[in-house]
Structures are given as C-alpha cells and as structure tokens.
Structure 1
Amino acid sequence: MKIIVPMAGRGSRLRPHTLTVPKPLIPIAGKPIVHRLVEDIAGVLNQPIDEVAFIIHESFGTQVEKELIAIAEKLGAKGTIYYQNEALGTGHAIMCAKDSLSGPAVIAYADTLIRADFDLDTTADSVIWVKQVDQPEAFGVINLNENNEIVELVEKPKEFVSDLAVIGIYYFKNVGILKNELQAVLDNNIIHGGEYQINDGIKQMMQKGMKFVPGKVDEWMDCGNKDVTVETNGRMLGFLHNDGIETLISKNIRLENSTIIEPCYIADDVILINATVGPNVSLGKGTHLTNVTIKNSLVQTHAHIRNANLDNAMIGNHATFDGEFKNISIGDYSVLE
C-alpha cells in the first residue's frame, strides 16, 4: 500500500505562520499536521505501508524534505519527494507523482485531520472518504444509489443531493487506472476553475463502470486558517488525552506557582512561572511563560510570553509577546512588547 500526499500549497489563509513553515508542518498537539494525517491513515488501513510520496513545492527546502522522509521511515516505508511548482490543481498535483502511481494507494490532502474506525472495502475499485455535515451546500458531496455505491460527485449543490461531504482522502485498488484517466485530462486540457481536477479523472472511472463506495470518518478537522487550526488543536488534545496512548505533558518542565488544566500538550524544556495553562493548549519545546493565563491556544517552540491573558491565540517559533491582547496570531521571530 502507498500513501500519496499532495501538499505543495503554502497555506496563505494561515499566514503569518506559513511564511516560514509550510502548513502541513504546523504542529497540532505537538506533531506536524502531515505526520498525524499519515499515521491516522496507516492506522485505518491496518496493513503495511510500502511508500509515502510527498508532493511539495521545491522552495520548501532540504530540511523539510528530510523531515518528510523521516515521517515515512517511522512507518517502515520508503519516503519519496516530488515537486509541484505551479498551482495547477489537484489532478496536476497527483500526476507530479506519476512514477509512484501504481498498485493500491491512498491519496490524502495534507490540510485536514481525521478520526476514523472502519474496515476498508478492498473489493471496491475506490473508496472516497466522507463526513456527514450540516451545510452540504458548502462542500463537494457524493450521490449514492440503492446499493450504497457512489454514482456522482456534486460540487456545492444548490439543491439537496446528500449530506456526505468529500474530505479529500481517497483509496484506489489500482491507482494506475486513475493515473491513466488524469493523463487524459491533462492531454485534453480538461480544466475546471482554471485547474486540472482529480474529480475529472474519477468521473471518467465511474463512467467506465468502476465501483466507488463511501468510507465514513467520525471526525474531520480542518487546519485552513488560524481560528480553525486552534480549534483543531484543542479537539485533537481531547482525543489524545482520552486515548492515553501519547505522552502529552513532558516530565522535563519547570513549574513555579503554576497550574496545568488538561488536556494540554507541553514539550520538553518549557518553563512556567506564575502561569495557568489550559485547557486545550499546546506549548512547544523551550517555551517560557511568566505571569500568563492561557487557554484554547497553540504556541510553537522557544516562544517567550509575559504578562498576558490569552484565549484562541496562535504564536510562532521564537516569538516574544508581552501585552494585553487576548486573541492574537503572531508568526515566527515576531516581537510584540
């Protein structure tokens, strides 16, 4: 089994945090988004992963590439890097990894996190993962027949089709078939919204009678902008705290007259002085808090925060903040005093 992860977008809606770090490497509960995504998919598949192919922008740099290869290797898989240097759509992104498009594979876009527990229907030609939503008109949704097979993909329907939204994770029994269909999309210059779309390849597979079925996830968490990323961090902390599998609070921290209200993630070398932390807070390695109350927030590594009462805040690596603002979003190496 292979996992293909298109992640070349810079994440403009999450700026300033993505000015220095690609969005899929933003940490959620102490672990990069893409790391959690790949691990969660591997857990659902419950079978060996042979390769994880990452499709990135060349500007991400060698350090990012090394981190991604390490994610694959932790799963016992080969890590492969491909480049998409032009934003030409989901179909184009997948075809940038065409040398890896063979055999069974999952394609997953690295801007969401999931919680799922279902048996993958490997008899189907494809599984499209979906989540029941309250406002289906805001999403791409699937249309099912009486046999619970997907017969249509509808983008932002004006009239009700279903409430099962496509979340951007797909299984293909033979992803080489999708590759052939997407090659036809590229060759024939089939464009929607100015881009080459994965849906056009999928629709051609459906027209040829291939069986598509839904796989329903229990939780679908977005990391599109600052507010939803902070919310996702809190939700993930709650899940991990209840699971009890990951160690969320390091023993290598210093507390002086401070209180931690779980769930929280607190990394090594964090110093808390006259601080109340939590619930739903992640503090990256080496962060120092003095005279701070903080909840529902995400702080990356080596930040220094003083004299603050924070809620729904997101603070970057090596940032310094000393002030009265409560709901803030400041990027790496920023100083507000």
Structure 2
Amino acid sequence: MNIIVPMAGIGSRLRPHTLTIPKPLTLIAGKPIVQRLVEDIVKVIDQEVEEIAFVIGPTFPKDTEEKLMTIARDMGAKGKVSVQEQALGTAHAIQCAKDTLEGPCVVAFADTLFKADFTLDGESDGAIWVKQVEEPSAYGVVKLHDGIITDFVEKPDEFISDLAIIGIYYIKNGEVLREEIQYLLDNNIKDKGEFQLTNALENMKQKGLKFVPGQVTEWMDCGNKEVTVDTNSKILQFASQENENLISKSVTLNNSSIIEPCYIGENVELNDSVIGPNVSLGDNSIVENSKIVNSLIQTNTIIKNVTLKQAMIGNNAYFDGEFKSVSIGDYSVLK
C-alpha cells in the first residue's frame, strides 16, 4: 500500500500561523496535522504502508522535507517529497507524485482530519470517503445507487447530492488512476479552471470500475483559526479515550493544575495557572498567572496574566495582557 498526500496549498485562511509553517505541519495535540492524518489512514486501511509521497508547494520552508521524511520513517515507510510548482488542481497535484501511483494507493489531502470505522470492500476498485453536509455546493459530491457510486460532481451549482467527498480516496490499482490523470493533462481537460480528480474518477467509472463510499464518523476541518481550535479539542478527546500519552513527565507545576484532556509538551513550566480542558501547549512554553481553556498553543511561547478561551498562539510568541480570544502568529509579542 502506498499513500500520496497532496499538501501544496498555502493555507491562507489560517494566517498568520501559516506564514512561517505550512498548515499540514501545524501541531494538533502535539503532532503535525499531516502525521495524524497518515496515522488515521493506516488504522482504517489496516495494511502495511510501503511508501508515503508528500506533494508540497514551492515556497515551503527548507526543513519541510526533513520533517516529512521523519513522519514516513516513523510509520515504517519510505518517504518521498515532490513539489507542485503551480496550483493547477487536485489531479495535477497527485500527478506530481505519479511514480508512487502503483498498486493499492490511498490519496489523502492534508486539509482535514477524520475518524472512521470502515472495512475495505475487496470486490470494489476503490473507495471514496464521504460525509453528509448541509451545503454541498462547496464540495465535490457523489451520488449513490445500491451502495455504489454512480456520479462524481465537482462543486455542483444545483443540488445533486449532500454526500461530500472529504478528500480521502482508496484506489485498488494506482496505475489506472495515473493514466486517467495523464489523459486530462495531455488533453487540457479542466473543470472550473483546474485539473480535477473527480473527472479522472468519473472516467474510470465510465469504463466499468466500481467505487463504494466510505462513511466517516467525524470530519474535522483545519481551515481557519476557529475550526482548528475546535479540531484540537476533538482530537484531544479522541486521544484521551485511546489512552494516548498526552502530558509530558517533564512538566513543572507550581501552584497550578491541569484539567484533562490536555496535551502538555516537554519542559513546560506552569506557575499559578489552570490549564484545560481541551488545551494543547507545546514544548518549552511557560504560563504564569493565567487560566486557559479550549486553546491551541505552539512551542517556545510565554504567556502571562491572561484568561484565554478559543485562542490560537504560534511558536516563539510572548503574550502578556488582558485579551481573551486571540490568534497570534509566530514570533509575535503582546505586552
């Protein structure tokens, strides 16, 4: 089994946090979003992963490749990193890692996290994970008949279906998908100005391949500050239920308490503070005389004299003040 993770988007809705760190490498409950995504895929697929290919953007930081290769190695897989030089659509992004499209493959776009209880149908040619949504016009959607996908439609102007594609796909034969995407590129076949994966899947279906839906129980967005903080809270709750080790033994507590679930990183110092529930606090951070709930705070950050709720604070930040709901990027200072 191979996994391809297109993640070349700049994450503009999550600025200022994505000005210095790509969104998929933003820490959620102590792990990068893309790492949690890959881990969840492996749990659902329950197969050995041989190779993980990441497709990044041309402006990503120099250390991005090293971080992604480490994630692949930790999963026991070979890692590859490709660059999508131009944002030409989902199909184009996948084709940037076309050498990995061999045999059984999972394609997972690093925009969201999910929870699913799903067993692959060995008789089908692929599976598309979907979730029922209220406004399907913002998504690619599928239509079903007797449990089989009959249509793929990209962001329909009129109601077609409310089953939105969440961005995770299983393809039994990666070479077939590679050929169909190449056909789109060679013939300049675009939809809404871009090369769309749904068009390649529709062509495969027209040739007789059978796709089934994979239902998810949770679909968690990381698009902007508000939903990313909410996703952090949900991941903390899931991780706690699964007995994931969330609080480092190196935490220093001085007249302070932690209300779980929380992620507290290495060498964190808490003075006269209450942390939690649903807080992630990154490595080497210091919190003094503060109360923090439902918040996502990255590494090497100092926080003093605040009451925070629904906050997101970047790396190497310093915050001393009376603000209550904030979104502070890396290296920011508020006194």
Per-residue deviation, residues 55-102 of structure 1 (Å, max 9, x unmatched):
112332442111111111111110011110111111110111112211
User: How many angstroms apart in 2 are the aligned matches of 1:149 and 1:290?
Assistant: 56
Amino acid at match of 1:259: S
User: How many angstroms apart in 1 are the aligned matches of 2:264 and 2:87?
Assistant: 36
1:130 aligns with 2:116: no
Cα drift, residue 155 of structure 1: 3.5
Q: What's the TM-score, normalizing by structure 1?
A: 0.96
**Aligned equivalent of 1:154:** 153
2:281 aligned to 262, 267, 283, which one?
Answer: 283
Per-residue deviation, residues 15-59 of structure 1 (Å, max 9, x unmatched):
110111000000111000000000110111111000000011233
After TM superposition, list the pairs within 5 Å mapping 1:112-127 onto structure 2.
112-127=112-127
Tell me if structure 1 keeps the 8 A contact 2:317–2:328: yes
Aligned-residue CA RMSD (Å): 1.2
More divergent stretch after superposition (101-110 vs 154-163): 154-163
Tell me if structure 1 keeps the 8 A contact 2:152–2:199: no
Q: Identity over aligned residues, as a percent? A: 59
User: How many angstroms apart in 2 are the aligned matches of 1:282 and 1:192?
Assistant: 40
User: How many angstroms apart in 1 are the aligned matches of 2:185 and 2:158?
Assistant: 31
After TM superposition, list the pairs within 5 Å mapping 1:226-305 onto structure 2.
226-244=225-243, 246-305=244-303
**Aligned equivalent of 2:208:** 209
**Aligned equivalent of 2:70:** 70
Matched residue SS, 1:142: strand
2:323 aligned to 318, 322, 325, which one?
Answer: 325
Amino acid at match of 1:24: P
Cα drift, residue 117 of structure 1: 1.5
Cα drift, residue 142 of structure 1: 1.1
After TM superposition, list the pairs within 5 Å mapping 1:19-58 onto structure 2.
19-58=19-58
1:139 aligns with 2:139: yes
User: How many angstroms apart in 1 are the aligned matches of 2:47 and 2:157?
Assistant: 39
After TM superposition, list the pairs within 5 Å mapping 1:80-229 onto structure 2.
80-145=80-145, 147-157=146-156, 160-229=159-228
User: How many angstroms apart in 1 are the aligned matches of 2:69 and 2:158?
Assistant: 44
User: How many angstroms apart in 2 are the aligned matches of 1:123 and 1:175?
Assistant: 16
Cα drift, residue 194 of structure 1: 1.8
Extract unaligned runs of 5+ from structure 1: none
Tell me if structure 1 keeps the 8 A contact 2:21–2:61: no
User: How many angstroms apart in 1 are the aligned matches of 2:304 and 2:110?
Assistant: 33
Tell me if structure 1 keeps the 8 A contact 2:302–2:318: yes
Amino acid at match of 2:42: A
More divergent stretch after superposition (98-107 vs 151-160): 151-160
Cα drift, residue 160 of structure 1: 4.4
More divergent stretch after superposition (58-67 vs 93-102): 58-67
Amino acid at match of 1:69: M
**Aligned equivalent of 2:12:** 12
**Aligned equivalent of 1:335:** 333
User: How many angstroms apart in 1 are the aligned matches of 2:59 and 2:134?
Assistant: 38
**Aligned equivalent of 2:60:** 60
Per-residue deviation, residues 192-234 of structure 1 (Å, max 9, x unmatched):
2221111111111111111011011111100011110000000
Cα drift, residue 133 of structure 1: 2.6
Cα drift, residue 134 of structure 1: 3.6
Matched residue SS, 1:195: coil
Extract unaligned runs of 5+ from structure 2: none
Matched residue SS, 1:18: helix
Cα drift, residue 325 of structure 1: 1.0
Matched residue SS, 2:200: helix
